[in-house]
Structure 1
Amino acid sequence: MRHVLFLLLLATPGTIAFGQNKALDKKLKGFDAYVASVMHDWSVPGVSVAIVYKNKIVLSKGYGYRDKEKKLPVTPQTLFAIGSCTKAFTAAGLCLLEDEGKLELDKPVRDYLPDFKLQDDYVSANLTSRDLLCHRSGLPRHDLLWYGAPFSRRELYERLQYLEPSKPFRTAYQYQNLMFMVAGMVAGQVTHQSWEDFTRDRFLIPLEMTSTNFSVNDLQQARDFATGYSLQNDTVKVIPYMNIDALGPAGAINSSADDMSHWLVALINGGRYKGKKVLSENSIRQLQTPTMTTPVEVPVRYDESFYNSYGLGWVITSYRGHVRVDHGGNIDGFSASTCFLPKDSIGVVVLSNMNGTPLPAIVRSQVLDRMLGLPLTDWNGRLLADENKNKDLQARVKKEEDDLHRVKDTKPSHPLAAFAGKFEHPAYGVVEITAEGNSLKADLHGLKTDLAHYHYDVFQATGKKYFQSEKFQFITGLDGSIDAIHIRLEPSVKDIEFKRKLQLLDVAAPTLANYTGDYDFGGQVARVYIKELTKLYLFVPGQPEYELAATKPNEFKIKILEGFQVRFEVDATGKANELVSIQPNGTFRAKRK
């Protein structure tokens, strides 16, 4: 109880309409104590809340700490990462451009980005901006392509063609951050600006969102910004900021309760803020028009809730009989909720500096109950009960699954050193495996974990932060070496295959000359020769010429043929006397003529 009271003392005064409207005073009586209690229950260091009613900001207030260690309080101006609440700005931007006749939401993306390419040619040619904004591309999340990755926005865009879809085009809602990135690129192409500059010019400046920015790099330069935290073994710990600049249009905005309240005023007042038209009523209507149904529990668990649909950058549902438009946001160390009730002219934003917490949704629902004058629902108690039950259940199910599938008392087929190396996927990039003592370690563009032997050539991630007990299945190639790794990075498609990235050798021209000549395969003569001084080629009659790439001394791979290798047997002087062709269908020898 002392902890709750302490948090109450840290409620930072902000813009409050108390005293001006006795009905509002009554509705929000005890709200500060409620927020403090929920923060205590979910171990959240800091929260900022703004409430809008009609065209007025009736509350904008900070609670707790933006920096727990330094005891710096949250204020209404404290910047938090808002994560996927960013998507609403990206969607609004495209609607605005359609109103201005600069694009059409139902025209193919290729009309604006001619080189847009997904794995499926039909989808590549027909996917529209509207498809991007309502998550119906057929692609599942594939989040580990971008999360923590060093790739630029352009590089992520170019890698989309290598991602496997899991559903037919336009048949299912599947949340997809990368498609919102593409939507931002469409806006940039049409306006000849970056998405960031376009969003700043058309929304942040007219809405007087003066503190809002687009990068955690800029966040940390601000006067008043929050540190991100996570709950690890029941202890609140600082976690590093995650830079997602490349994915910006899907989730990189940082904002404050004060700034976000201006956005809400525009959304519930026909696109106007302080008399300025920021968005048309048609655009706002499009944003909140249901486009795709989302997966839900049937029947709905709670009477207050309803089935969800997705518009353009917003979730549309009913809350206790009132139309609710909202979106959550989560990125390392931060959780957020932005919500408005269009028919009731109520808006709420809740920002927090705790990773993956339901607190923003809990506080949002409390605000809605109060503002609508409804009996208060104990969402906090319900979700606490669910959390405790689910935590125990998930741990038990995971252990049972591991025990069921594990074959005991097996050993790897190779020494651990043979599993080490770099393995590459054309979209996800490189995962590096290192052998240290009696264990393996994995590193996928900075996401690291130890690997423990599971059975045979399967190892299991043991890191708590990344990969979460995922299995790494090592595959032996035809030559007997570890050739690939299969990892279930996206559960709804086949395991992602990372092929060993061979470290090619530079071979001096005089050494290459030792391999040149004619080789007789029992009547069929192949020729080995040099081009461009340092490139070795193999020509077999009736086939194209093949460039050879050195992988080991006297050993080469055929560059364009998977699984084809060439080894030269040499004499004491280093001169080749025999060529050994190692192919998927056998090994063939040819004597030098």
Structure 2
Amino acid sequence: MGPGSLASASTGLSGCAPRVRRNRFDVRLPGGVMAHDDGQGSAPTAATGMARRTLLRGLGAAGVGAAITGTGSTAAAPAPGPRAVASATSTASGQITAEGVTRALAVLDDIVKKDKAATSVPGIAVAVVYEGQVRYLKGLGERQAGVVGDVDVDTVFQLASVSKPLSSTVIAAALTRRLAKVDWNDTLQTFRPGFTLADAWVGQHVTVADMFSHRSGLPDHAGDLLEDLGYTGEQIISKLALYPLARFRDNYAYTNYGLTAGAQAFATATGRSWQDLSREMIFAPLGMSSTSYSFADLQASKNRAALHTLVNGQWTPDLGANNDGQAPAGGANSSVRDLARWLTMLISGGGFPGLQTPVVDVPGLQTVWKPNNVTHGPEELGGRASFYGLGWNVDYEDTGELRLGHSGGFGRGASTVITVYPSKKLAIAVLTNSDPRGVPEAIAAEFVDIVRYNASTRDWLAFLAPIVAEPITPDQTKYSKPAVNPTPARNLGAYVGTYPNRVYGDLTVSLRDGALSFTVGPAGKRFPLTHYSGDEFYFQTTGENASGFSGALFAAPRTKVLSLTINAWNRDKLGVFTRR
């Protein structure tokens, strides 16, 4: 089957018969993501300096009903963004019905092909489940650009942050089984005695639920930058104690390593590794044979999708993205066939065909789907807020339905989404093997539009693509052009030395062949420095959390260079390296 063909499969499950900022305007997408419109009629773009992962975290519930509202009473009418592709029919109620699902399934092939053609992403796989049946299960495109092998329904993709709702389901299943005397509200210190945070009292009281709802007080994405420097997951979790805290249980700040610490503490309480617990609780009972939290298992798969980024107009594959260090938050791997089984269990109230007892009981599902944290407050009086449960984005539609979901994305080349309507027993999963371009979210959103309104309410791909695009930071803009009237650097030897930092470790500046560079982290990554002006240099960031150019500012209050500030690592005021 060629890369332009949709590869489908029998949709039967065991026991089931198959069935066919300036004066800005904020665009609130379902799921709590805030995109920003420049007020000039352009498409929304990411907030300056915001990591792409930060934007992706809330897109999982992407669907109908994005609200565009002004932020001040004197603001002009917001630019509408891409217009609706078609008007909703007068007979479409906006409700999710069997007729609407059948209608949307009939055009889903066309939606997938359209968005693939528009973006040229290498591969896409999609699953739709409805009322306990897998109604759509297909793959399209290439597993790895330039290598023979098509995406099919068993191709294993890296899920990125779709790992989080999967992980919360693992814990809910373990609690259903009463596997150990442990609960969501048990503290991490109970099972990880050495764990602490910058505030010892918070470190003593923070719970598994706090970490899964991103309300620990840790700063947004705390620890993520360390993984690019070669630190292990355990090392990063131990360094969380060095990060400044916001008010405990009084804010929302998305932390991969906080959630990972909570998941691992829970697994320890059961006497199992996270991988073993997941296999026993979810993957084995549901027959999810292609799913794991192990990079080694992914490497061993003969039917895996490579990650891809577009380099000079060519898709460049990456087979080396190991996310074991934050496996519960971003290290799961799965196929759409397996995800369809998981989603079927979820929309069936925790039960599954052929099993005598539920995988997760109803109270367990209610717990993980209950709002635990406010991700974004109402834009206007009487408006709706967006929430986060335990590993899930939680929102409510205009028509009242609970909508759950999550997006995932790796800048190195993955983009994923799930959306679930429990009361309507409808769910969709979309996996792609390219860097985030809005494709999974657009497919899911347009599918739900057709279900509800018999028409797409907007050009979702055009709307979402700039939101999930890599943001341009101030440093990237600044250092892309030569300095105006630059001053010379001092003798380059004056900068050579070791600059310790309590979070990032020792940074060593060296001079080779007349050029400065520095190394930092266990991996010994070397970053060449380019002079900008005076004691100011810059370098190219690399890795999953790369943000383009970053300033490297040496400080010499008198005659001796005493410190170095790395702008890209200084968001939480932790990027100052003091010379030894």
TM bucket, shorter chain? 0.7 to 0.9
Q: Is the 8 A contact 1:461 1:467 kept in 2?
A: no
Q: Which of 240, 252, 269 matches 1:173?
A: 252
Query: Shift in Å at residue 381 of structure 1?
Result: 4.7
Cα-Cα RMSD: 3.2
Superposition map of 1:249-268 within 5 A: 249-268=328-347
Q: CA-to-partner distance for each residue in 1:90-114, whole Å, 9 max, x for gaps?
A: 2233334444262132233222222
Q: Aligned residue for 1:292?
A: 373
Distance 1:110 1:464, change over 3 A: closer
Q: CA-to-partner distance for each residue in 1:107-146, whole Å, 9 max, x for gaps?
A: 3322222221111112112211111110011111134444
Q: Is the 8 A contact 1:350 1:364 kept in 2?
A: yes
- Partner Cα distance (1:441, 1:482) in 2: 16
Letter in 2 for 1:170: R
Question: Structure 1 residue 237 and structure 2 residue 302: aligned?
Answer: no
Question: Structure 1 residue 468 and structure 2 residue 552: aligned?
Answer: no
Q: Is the 8 A contact 1:450 1:463 kept in 2?
A: no
Q: Is the 8 A contact 1:418 1:482 kept in 2?
A: yes
Letter in 1 for 2:5: L
Question: Structure 1 residue 29 and structure 2 residue 109: aligned?
Answer: no
Distance 1:477 1:398, change over 3 A: closer
Distance 1:176 1:437, change over 3 A: same
Distance 1:214 1:94, change over 3 A: closer
Q: Aligned residue for 1:529?
A: none
Letter in 2 for 1:134: S
Superposition map of 1:130-279 within 5 A: 130-140=209-219, 141-165=221-245, 167-276=246-355, 277-279=358-360
Higher strand share: 1
Question: Structure 1 residue 376 and structure 2 residue 456: aligned?
Answer: yes
Distance 1:143 1:47, change over 3 A: farther
Query: Shift in Å at residue 345 of structure 1?
Result: 0.6
Query: Shift in Å at residue 382 of structure 1?
Result: 3.6
- Partner Cα distance (1:168, 1:292) in 2: 13
Superposition map of 1:63-462 within 5 A: 63-99=140-176, 100=178, 102-140=181-219, 141-165=221-245, 167-276=246-355, 277-295=358-376, 298=379, 307-319=385-397, 321=399, 322-331=401-410, 332-372=412-452, 374-383=454-463, 386=466, 408-413=485-490, 415-445=491-521, 446=523, 449-462=527-540
Query: Shift in Å at residue 285 of structure 1?
Result: 0.6
Q: Which of 9, 13, 38 matches 1:14?
A: 9
Question: Structure 1 residue 43 and structure 2 residue 111: aligned?
Answer: no
Distance 1:187 1:43, change over 3 A: same
- Partner Cα distance (2:150, 2:575) in 1: 44
Query: Shift in Å at residue 384 of structure 1?
Result: 6.2
**5+ residue gaps in structure 2?**
13-17, 21-97
Distance 1:408 1:159, change over 3 A: same
- Partner Cα distance (1:170, 1:492) in 2: 21
SS at match of 2:154: coil
Query: Shift in Å at residue 225 of structure 1?
Result: 0.4
Q: Tell me the matched-pair count.
A: 486
Distance 1:430 1:43, change over 3 A: farther
Q: CA-to-partner distance for each residue in 1:137-160, whole Å, 9 max, x for gaps?
A: 111113444423433333222222
- Partner Cα distance (2:350, 2:487) in 1: 65
- Partner Cα distance (1:306, 1:72) in 2: 45
Distance 1:176 1:95, change over 3 A: same
- Partner Cα distance (1:146, 1:464) in 2: 12
Query: Shift in Å at residue 241 of structure 1?
Result: 2.5
Task: Please identify the structure whose Cα radius of gyration is greater.
Answer: 1
Query: Shift in Å at residue 357 of structure 1?
Result: 2.4
Letter in 1 for 2:138: K
Letter in 2 for 1:439: A
Q: CA-to-partner distance for each residue in 1:411-464, whole Å, 9 max, x for gaps?
A: 223x22342444332332344433344433344445554322223222122457
| Identity within the alignment, % | 23
Q: CA-to-partner distance for each residue in 1:45-104, whole Å, 9 max, x for gaps?
A: 001000000111111110111112013110000000001111123223333444426213
Distance 1:212 1:339, change over 3 A: same
TM-score, normalised by the number of residues in structure 2: 0.76
Q: Aligned residue for 1:525?
A: none
- Partner Cα distance (1:241, 1:317) in 2: 35
